[in-house]
Amino acid sequence: MPRFPILMPQLGESIAEATVKEIPIAPGDEVKADQDIFSVETDKAVMEVTTPCSGTISEIVAETETSYAVGSTLAYIDATEEEATKAGLMKPTDSDDGSRDEAKESSDKQDSNLHFSIDEADVIDHNEAPSVIPTVEGGLPVPIRSTVYLSPRMRHRMEELGLNQADLSGVAGSGAGGRVTVEDFEKFIVELEQNKMTAASPMRIAVADSMRRSWSRPLATVSVPVIMDQVLDHRRSMNPKPGVTLYAIRALAIAIAENTAVAGRLIGTRIVHPNSIDIGFAVEVEDGVLVPIIRNCDDQTLSDLTLPYEELVKRGQSRKLPPAAIGTGIATVTNVGPFGITDATPIPLPEQNLVLGLMAGRVSPIWDKEKEEFVPKTESNFVLSFDHRILDGGAAGRLLNRISQLLQEPEKL
């Protein structure tokens, strides 16, 4: 019976590795096609690796709590030629007397899910599985001042300990021009050992790297107070009730669709406009934040988005997002109001120009021109952070005011 490797698939854009968390199978187990056989963790979510076809698990190469690069062999499956052909692992033979070696040739067509494709070399029975060192062991990928000079001896010592320049941000150098010497470094290491230390999670490392890349651009922030009474009244009349964040997502999508340049990216001397209005929203998880993506927000009504949004919130909290919700959007909405925060400076993701922050609502006295008196209104501060190369304060303010205007007529969302 032919033997085929089960490979670590490409689990999302820019994801190069994943850590195996659970292996609910054992050698000799009979499995069906598309059966979950590995639970793996990326810096974005916990996902499943499935079988390419029905068969018998002949060998498990992967180990739990170990990171493997995309394309690495995790296990082997024995499958009939019929099952393998059906799954595209083998080419169908033109004649019944074809050799077994020819039957074992992999399909030339490459599938986007790597564990559904097979390289000719992988058919050979070998046990060596490529792996990578987990990012968490390499230190934070956030560089300190680029002008810092490190001697070859210093670099060699850091390599021995698996550290990089980011780990020296708390070290005051005693050398010329503030240079960190080997003596400074060794003293720093000794002092560290006297402190309680815990390993940073892959998600925390990913957040740190994302923020470092975000701050490579000139960012700015503006804010406006938004009256939320109409939104709250409309929400009470709905069943199911849309989340307040969803109202903001929908209003932002409409505002961007009216002028897509505001969500563009400056590449060289051109502003690249988005092809679709895909907006993410922040979901707090243990030791980090996930950003599920809602596609084509401008083409769907508030009612259309309500149930899919709630489903994404639940799946995001469990870190099991569907593949369609993982990737790159053009903007993010984050609601920190439930934490009682009334002012904040959200930071846009590196691949995005905009992030809209919703602050906690507060009842405030607002002047009513018709009644000529102050009346109590629920007011929330909306904060927009943006790439200042794309937008200036005036354009950002107009975008925020348009969002506020749209929220005064929530029934049209």
pLDDT digits (tens, 9 = 90+) for 103-157: 444 444 444 444 444 444 444 444 444 444 444 343 333 333 334 566 777 788 8
Q: Is the dihedral of CA 164, 170, 173, 178 positive or negative?
A: positive
What pLDDT was estimated at residue 14? Answer: 59
Average pLDDT over residues 248-277: 91
What pLDDT was estimated at residue 249? Answer: 96
CATH number of 141-192: 4.10.320.10
Measuring CA to CA, how many Å separate 54 from each of 3, 59, 76, 81, 198? 12, 15, 12, 11, 42
**Equal fold, 141-192 vs 204-412:** no
Measuring CA to CA, how many Å separate 318 from each of 1, 312, 332? 39, 10, 20
Please, are residues 368 and 217 in contact by the beta-carbon 8 Å criterion?
Answer: no
**65 has pLDDT over 80:** yes
| Most confident range, picked from 84-88, 172-176, 362-366 | 362-366
**What are the extents of the domains in the chain?**
3-123, 141-192, 204-412
What pLDDT was estimated at residue 393? Answer: 92
Q: Which fold has domain 3-123?
A: OB fold (Dihydrolipoamide Acetyltransferase, E2P) (2.40.50)
- Encode pLDDT of 152-201 as tens digits: 777 888 888 777 676 777 677 777 666 778 888 888 888 888 888 777 77
- Would you say the pTM of this structure is higher than 0.85? no
Distance CA 104, CA 189 (A): 54
- Encode pLDDT of 270-282 as tens digits: 888 999 999 999 9
Q: What percent of the chain has pLDDT over 90?
A: 40
Edge-first strand listing for the sheet containing 17-22:
46-50, 36-41, 17-22, 67-69
Q: How confident is residue 13, by pLDDT bands cut at 50, 70 and 90?
A: low
CATH number of 204-412: 3.30.559.10
Q: 136-154 in b/e burial notation, b at 16+ Cβ within 10 A?
A: beebbebeeeeebebeeeb
Instruction: Report the alpha-carbon angle 274-280-285, nearest 5.
Output: 155
Q: 100-129 in b/e burial notation, b at 16+ Cβ within 10 A?
A: eeeebebbeeebeebbbbbeeebbeeeeeb
